[in-house]
Amino acid sequence: MAVRSDTSASSRLRRLAQRSHEEETRQASAEERCELCGETIGADHRHLVDLSSRALMCSCRPCSLLFDQQGAGGGRYRLVPDRRLHVEDFELDEALWQSLRIPVDMAFFFHSSQAERVAAFYPGPAGATESLLDLAAWRELEAANPVLEQLVPDVEAMLVNRAGGTRGHWVVPIDDCYDLVGLIRTHWQGLSGGRQVWTEIGGFFERLERRAKAVDRQGNRRRASAPAGAAAGNGKEPAWGT
């Protein structure tokens, strides 16, 4: 197993995850501002990614619109999309999952422009940890699931949830991944996480299910089937490791 936990990318993701969760739990009366123009913004706002530092920046609607085109901002900032896709027929068997070298049952993958490769991270009680991805395995996964070719670099991710026997696969905005990491880091207790963290994880995927559009592995729309995102079932805590 090749794991790199002490990297600058991992540290940035931990900071971003903590920051994202703190934003969610901030008091409703607290005033938030656009980090570009200083305009007051509501809790429901868009984000930009600073590609040089991987920093996540809050943005008002007018500033978001300025960066809603490829190449805007000289390529330094990229607007985080707001699309969420539930890929219902995603192909990922046990052998291929093992070859991706993810030591737990939840992870997210995104194209990093700075690293010029696909990056893989998994959440845990210490935040987000980078796993050294087998690029041959990723290419095999991408060939089986063409929707992965549509990921917008740096700002969209493939989120995989296999905890407790679940098989959920989602294309999500990168800030959703930071939210999940922050949620797990905040609520984790003991060795297995405790009942509260699994309740929170289940709630996260239930909300994602409601917001996401159902697609096939080609990226085509399809009628949604039964929810596939809950992390825990029957009141039991899933095992975290694979």
Query: Is residue 36 scored above 90 in pLDDT?
Result: no
* Spatial contact of 190 and 181, defined as CB atoms under 8 Å apart: no
pLDDT tens across 175-204, in order?
999 999 999 999 999 888 899 999 999 999
pLDDT tens across 193-241, in order?
899 999 999 999 999 999 999 999 999 997 755 555 554 444 456 666 6
* Spatial contact of 170 and 145, defined as CB atoms under 8 Å apart: no
Burial 131-146 (b: 16+ CB within 10 A, else e): bebbeebbebbbeebe
Give the H/E segment covering residue 144: helix 135-144
The answer to whether the pTM exceeds 0.85 is no
| Of 10 and 156, the one with more pLDDT | 156
**Biggest CA-to-CA distance, the chain:** 51
Residue where the block lists tokens 């008002």:
60
In DSSP notation, 29-48 reads: TS-EE-TTT--EE-SS-EEE
| Cα distances (Å, whole numbers) of residue 212 to 104, 122, 154, 229 | 24, 21, 20, 11
- Rounded to whole angstroms, the Cα distance separating 73 from 70 reads 9
* Spatial contact of 160 and 228, defined as CB atoms under 8 Å apart: no
| Of 43 and 3, the one with more pLDDT | 43
* Spatial contact of 97 and 162, defined as CB atoms under 8 Å apart: yes
pLDDT tens across 60-107, in order?
998 888 887 766 666 788 899 999 999 999 999 999 999 999 999 999
| Cα distances (Å, whole numbers) of residue 231 to 23, 96, 115, 181, 238 | 24, 21, 31, 14, 7
Q: What is the pLDDT of residue 219?
A: 95
